[in-house]
C-alpha cells in the first residue's frame, strides 16, 4: 500500500501539572509550565507507526500547529517512528485563539497537499476537551470518519473501526480516504528509545504558514473570562441524627 | 506534633515538629518553590523526626547530601526529661561541640527528637529521567563515571536494578520494560534550573554513551507522567519482592566496584536454596540493597546467608547497614563494621545520656556492651 498517513499532534500542558488561572482571568498560566504531547495524540502516533510496521501504510507524517516550541512535540512523534514532520507556524494572538475550526481547515489543506489517505488524530485535547477537530476535518474533506476508535483494522479496501460509545462498542466499516480519532484503549504508546531519539534528530521538519495553505486562522470566538472551578466547601460533621435533621432544616433542604 | 513552625524563603530553612509527614512537608515546600533535601519510598507515612533519628538516606542523597549536612538544628527531649533546645536556624555555627550529630541516626537511643530545622534546596525547574540498559556491571560503572563528568552538577540520582528485579516487576506488578532486556538497568535523574541547558547536556551524554556502546538501549522522559512511570521501575522493586514469599533484606555499603560481586557471590553460595537473589539500589552512593527470597521463612537459608554476608562485607571494609540502621536485628553485628574501641565509647555515651536505659532498649548497641 502506498498510503500516507497524517497524524496531528498537539502540544498541551502536561496532564500531571497543577493548572493555575492567570491573575487577570484571561487564561491559564503557561509560561515555564511543563508541556508535553497530548496523550490522545500519542496514541494516534503509536497507531500510525504500528500500521507502518505492519506494512499497511507507507509513510507517517506528524503535523503540529503553533509556535517554535511545538517542534519538540513533532520530534517526540519522530522519535516514536514518524517519518517526517510539518510545523505549521502560528504564534502570538493567533496561537491563543487557535481552535478546532482553524486546525481542521489546516489539516484538510495539508491532507490534499500531501495526498494523504488517512488522518489519525487524538479524540480530543486535554486542555480544551473540544473533541471537534477530527469531525470537522472529515466534514471539510467530505471523508468518512471513525471517531473514538478503540480498534482499527484494514479489511480489503475498507477500514474497520470499533468505536467506544455510551452504550458499549459500535463496529463500522468506512472507505478510504478517512479520518480516525483515537480513544484511550486503542493502544499503549511506546517509549521512544535512545537509538530512535538519535535518529529522529536527522528527520526533516518542514515549516509552513497557514496563509501558504490558504487558511485564515482568525477566530470567531472571544474568551471573556477564565475562572477556577468553585472550591469545594468543607463538610460538617454532626453527632446525632437530630443534629443532622436540624442542619438539613436550617439549610432549607427539608 | 505535626506543625510547621516557620519557613524562611530566603535561606530555605524550614523549622517544624518531629511528627510532620515527609510528603506533607514536600507539598508545603513545593508550593513555595522549594523541596525537601531527601526523598524515599515511604514518604507518604514517615515522620521527619523518624527520618532524622535514623539518618535516612533515600534517592536524593547523591545530590543534596545526608541529613548530617542538611539538618541545622534539633530540639531533643533527654532521658531525664530535660529539653535540649539546639533548634538553631544557622548555616554556620562553630560554637562548641555539635551535639545534634549525636542524635542524628541514634535511632532514639540517646534522646527523643521533637523538632527539626532543616536546610531545603530550591525546587528544580527542569527534571529529566533517563532509563538505560547496560550489558555488564563494569559498563554500568563506566557509565557512572561518564555521567559524573558530563552531567556534573545537574545529576540528582543514579540508581540501578538488575534483570532479576525487572522480571519480578513484570511478573507481579505487570509493569512494562520500556527498553530491550539487559542484565543491568540504570535510572538517572537530572535536576536543574534551566530546561534547555539540562536537555542539551543530557542529550550529549546519551549520545556519548550510546555511540561508545557503554549503554545498549535506553529511553528519556521529560513529562511528569512518564518520569513517574520510569521511577516506579526502581521504587516498586520492594513491593514486587513481597509477592515472592519471604524476603531477607540486606542494606550494604561497599566500594562501588565490589557491589555486584556480592550479589553474584551470594547466588553461588546459596545455590538452589534461595528462590531469588537480587541486587538494586543507590549505586551512585555505593549502597546495595541485596534481597533474597524463599517461598516461606527458611532458617537453614538464613543460616547460610548470615553471617556470610556480614563477613563478606567486613572483608571489604563495608558497612553492614548503609542506611537502614541497626535497630533490633542487626545490633549484635555492629563489630563487623566498627572497631571495639568505638563501640565501647558509644556505650559510655549511652550510659551518660540514658543511665537507666529507658530510651529504646535492646536497640542499636550490642548486648555485650557494659
The burial class, CB within 10 Å (0-12 / 13-18 / 19+), for A20 is exposed
Partner A, chain B 137-196, Cβ-Cβ below 8 Å: 176, 178-180
- CA dist B173 and B243 (Å) reads 9
Q: Which residue in the set A16, A191, A194 is minimally distant from B206, CB to CB?
A: A194
Give me the residue from B176, B219, B224 closest to A194, CB to CB: B219
Mean pLDDT of A160-180: 96
Torsion angle defined by CA atoms of residues A170, A172, A177 and A180, in that order, rounded to the nearest 10 degrees: 10
Average confidence score pLDDT of chain A? 94
The pLDDT of residue B370 is 58
Q: Give the model confidence (pLDDT) of A27-47 as tens digits.
A: 999 987 888 999 999 999 999
Q: CB-CB: which of B218, B225, B228 is closest to A194?
A: B218
Judge: A194–B217 Cβ closer than 8 Å, yes or no: yes
Contact call for A193 and B215, based on CB within 8 A: no
Helix (H) or strand (E) holding A159, with range, is strand A158-165
Q: How far is CA A107 from CA A124, A140, B218, in A?
A: 15, 10, 34
What residues of chain A lie within 8 A of the CB of B131, using their CB? Answer: 191
Q: Name the maximum alpha-carbon separation found in chain A.
A: 75
Residues of A in contact with B178 (CB under 8 A): 191, 193
The β-bridge relationship of strands A158-165 and A145-155 is antiparallel
Query: Where does residue A241 rank: exposed (0-12), middle (13-18), buried (19+ CB within 10 A)?
Result: exposed
**Residue B157: which of B241, B37, B56 has the closest Cα?**
B37
Contact of A76 with chain B, judged by CB distance below 8 Å, is answered with: no
Task: Find residues 13-72 of chain A whose CB sits inside 8 Å of chain B.
Answer: 14-17, 32, 34, 36
Mapped onto helix, strand or coil, the DSSP state of residue B187 is strand
Position B225 scores a pLDDT of 82
Q: Which of A191, A199, A202 to mutate to test the interface with B (most CBs of B within 10 A)?
A: A191
Per-residue confidence (pLDDT) for residue A1, from 0 to 100: 57
Q: Is A194 on the interface with B (CB under 8 A)?
A: yes
Listed as ranges, residues in chain B with pLDDT below 50 are: none
Residue with cell 470567531: A220
CB-closest option in B125, B131, B222 to A32: B125
Q: How far is the C-alpha of B271 from the C-alpha of A196, rounded, in Å?
A: 40
**Smallest Cβ distance to B219: which of A16, A17, A192?**
A192
For residue A212, the distance in angstroms to the closest alpha carbon of chain B comes to 31
State residue B3 phi and psi, 5-degree precision: -95, 145
The tally of CA atoms less than 13 A away on the side-chain side of residue B72 is 18
Distance (Å) from the alpha carbon of A241 to chain B's nearest alpha carbon? 33
Reported as a single tens digit per residue, the pLDDT across B174-223 is 999 999 999 999 999 999 998 888 988 998 999 999 999 999 999 998 87
- Domains and their CATH numbers in chain A: 4-251 (3.40.50.620)
Indicate the pLDDT class of residue A195, thresholds 50, 70 and 90.
Answer: confident
Residue found by looking up cell 532458617 in the block: B299
Q: What pLDDT score was predicted for residue A234? A: 86
Per-residue pLDDT at A235: 85
Any idea which residue has 524550614 for its cell? Answer: B14
**B226 touches A at CB < 8 Å:** yes
Whether the complex's predicted ipTM surpasses the cut of 0.90: no
Amino acid at each position: 500500500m502506498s498510503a500516507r498517513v497524517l497524524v496531528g499532534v498537539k502540544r498541551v500542558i502536561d496532564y500531571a501539572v497543577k493548572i493555575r488561572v492567570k491573575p487577570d482571568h484571561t487564561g491559564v498560566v503557561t509560561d515555564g509550565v511543563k508541556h508535553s504531547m497530548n496523550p490522545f495524540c500519542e496514541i494516534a502516533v503509536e497507531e500510525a507507526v504500528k500500521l507502518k510496521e505492519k506494512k499497511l501504510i507507507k509513510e507517517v507524517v506528524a503535523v503540529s500547529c503553533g509556535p517554535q516550541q511545538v517542534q519538540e512535540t513533532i520530534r517526540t512523534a519522530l522519535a516514536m517512528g514518524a517519518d517526517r514532520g510539518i510545523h505549521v507556524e502560528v504564534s502570538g494572538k493567533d496561537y491563543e485563539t487557535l481552535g478546532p475550526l482553524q486546525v481542521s481547515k489546516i489539516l484538510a489543506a495539508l491532507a490534499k497537499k500531501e495526498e494523504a489517505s488517512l488522518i489519525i488524530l487524538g479524540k480530543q485535547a486535554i486542555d480544551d476537551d473540544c473533541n471537534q477537530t477530527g469531525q470537522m476535518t472529515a466534514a471539510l474533506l467530505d471523508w468518512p470518519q471513525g471517531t473514538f476508535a478503540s480498534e482499527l483494522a484494514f479489511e480489503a479496501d475498507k477500514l474497520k473501526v470499533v468505536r467506544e460509545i455510551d452504550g458499549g462498542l459500535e463496529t463500522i466499516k468506512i472507505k478510504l480516504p478517512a479520518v480516525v480519532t483515537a480513544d484511550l484503549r486503542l493502544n499503549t504508546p511506546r517509549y521512544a528509545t535512545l537509538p530512535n531519539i538519535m535518529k529522529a534528530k536527522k528527520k526533516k521538519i518542514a515549516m509552513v504558514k497557514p496563509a501558504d495553505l490558504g487558511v485564515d486562522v482568525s477566530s470567531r470566538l472571544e474568551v471573556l473570562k477564565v475562572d477556577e472551578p468553585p472550591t469545594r466547601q468543607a463538610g460538617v460533621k454532626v453527632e446525632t441524627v437530630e443534629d443532622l435533621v436540624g442542619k438539613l432544616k436550617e439549610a432549607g433542604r427539608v | 506534633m505535626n506543625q510547621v513552625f516557620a519557613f524562611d524563603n530566603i535561606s530555605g530553612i524550614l523549622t517544624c515538629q518531629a511528627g510532620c509527614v515527609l510528603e506533607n512537608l514536600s507539598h508545603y515546600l513545593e508550593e513555595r518553590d522549594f523541596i525537601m533535601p531527601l526523598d524515599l519510598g515511604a514518604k507518604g507515612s514517615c515522620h521527619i523526626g523518624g527520618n532524622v533519628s535514623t539518618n535516612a538516606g533515600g534517592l536524593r542523597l547523591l545530590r543534596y547530601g545526608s541529613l548530617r549536612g542538611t539538618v541545622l538544628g534539633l530540639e531533643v527531649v533527654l532521658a531525664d526529661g530535660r529539653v535540649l533546645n539546639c533548634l538553631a536556624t544557622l548555616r554556620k555555627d562553630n560554637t562548641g561541640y555539635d551535639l545534634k550529630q549525636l542524635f542524628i541516626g541514634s535511632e532514639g537511643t540517646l534522646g527523643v527528637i521533637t523538632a527539626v530545622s532543616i536546610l531545603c534546596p530550591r525546587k528544580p525547574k527542569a527534571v529529566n529521567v533517563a532509563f538505560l540498559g547496560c550489558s555488564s556491571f563494569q559498563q554500568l560503572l563506566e557509565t557512572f563515571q561518564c555521567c559524573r563528568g558530563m552531567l556534573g552538577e545537574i545529576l540528582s540520582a543514579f540508581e540501578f536494578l538488575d534483570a532479576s528485579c525487572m522480571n519480578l516487576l513484570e511478573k507481579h506488578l505487570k509493569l512494562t520494560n520500556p527498553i530491550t532486556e539487559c542484565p543491568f538497568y540504570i535510572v538517572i535523574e537530572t535536576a536543574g534550573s534551566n530546561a534547555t541547558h539540562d536537555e542539551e547536556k543530557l542529550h550529549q551524554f546519551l549520545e556519548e554513551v550510546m555511540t561508545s556502546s557503554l549503554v545498549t538501549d535506553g529511553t528519556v522522559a521529560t513529562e511528569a507522567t512518564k518520569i513517574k512511570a520510569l521511577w516506579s521501575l526502581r521504587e516498586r522493586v520492594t513491593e514486587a519482592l513481597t509477592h515472592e514469599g519471604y524476603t531477607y533484606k540486606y542494606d550494604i555499603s561497599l566500594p562501588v566496584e565490589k557491589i555486584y560481586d556480592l550479589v553474584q557471590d551470594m547466588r553461588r553460595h546459596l545455590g538452589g536454596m534461595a528462590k531469588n537473589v537480587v541486587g538494586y539500589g543507590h549505586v551512585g552512593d555505593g549502597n546495595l540493597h541485596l534481597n533474597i527470597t524463599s517461598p516461606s521463612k527458611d532458617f537453614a537459608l538464613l543460616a547460610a546467608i548470615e553471617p556470610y554476608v556480614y563477613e563478606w562485607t567486613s572483608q571489604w571494609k563495608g558497612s553492614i547497614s548503609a542506611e537502614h540502621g541497626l535497630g533490633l536485628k542487626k545490633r549484635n553485628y555492629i563489630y563487623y563494621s566498627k572497631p571495639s574501641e568505638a563501640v565501647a565509647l558509644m556505650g559510655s555515651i549511652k550510659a551518660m545520656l540514658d543511665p537507666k536505659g529507658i530510651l529504646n532498649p535492646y536497640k542499636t548497641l550490642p548486648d555485650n556492651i557494659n
